[in-house]
Amino acid sequence: MEESRHQIHRVVKHMEEAWNKSDSAGFARPFVEDADFINIRGAHYNGRSAIEAGHRHLFDTIYKGSENQFTVESIRFVGADVAIAFVRSNLKWYEGGATREGQARPSMLLARSKGDWHIVVLQNTLVAPEGAR
């Protein structure tokens, strides 16, 4: 279990680093080929190549030069080979000459295959600012 936790932390760290290098292929690499991805706008993407293309677009446009920090809040195992990582993201991006900051919860469902953990589903939800409706 400790080795699995360690590997899952490494997957999340890898994604953070890929984001911060605007490396969409690196960001998509830990996903299984036919992964599901639900973004903060509730759009549902299927497949690693769609995830790669979507992030390529983000890194080239609204999130160009953005910085993301991923914190693993907890890991929940559902059997020995399936786990969900509850992750908190803190994103800083640039818009109209100003720095903006937002938080979200990109939870990742991972499965172990041949000793390696891969992301099967990622669902993201924006964390509403305090006091906002």
Residues that bind a second copy (CB under 8 A): 36, 38-44, 73, 76, 78-79, 81-82, 84, 86, 103-105, 107, 109, 111, 120-121, 123-128
By beta-carbon proximity to a second copy, the closer residue of 79 and 97 is: 79
Please, what is the minimum distance in Å from the beta carbon of residue 8 to a second copy?
15
Rg of the chain on CA atoms, in Å: 15
By beta-carbon proximity to a second copy, the closer residue of 23 and 83 is: 83
Task: Give which of 120, 124, 27, 51 is closest to 81, Cα–Cα.
Answer: 120
Got the DSSP string for 8-32? Answer: HHHHHHHHHHHHHTT-HHHHHTTEE
Please, what is the minimum distance in Å from the beta carbon of residue 74 to a second copy?
8
Please, what is the minimum distance in Å from the beta carbon of residue 24 to a second copy?
21
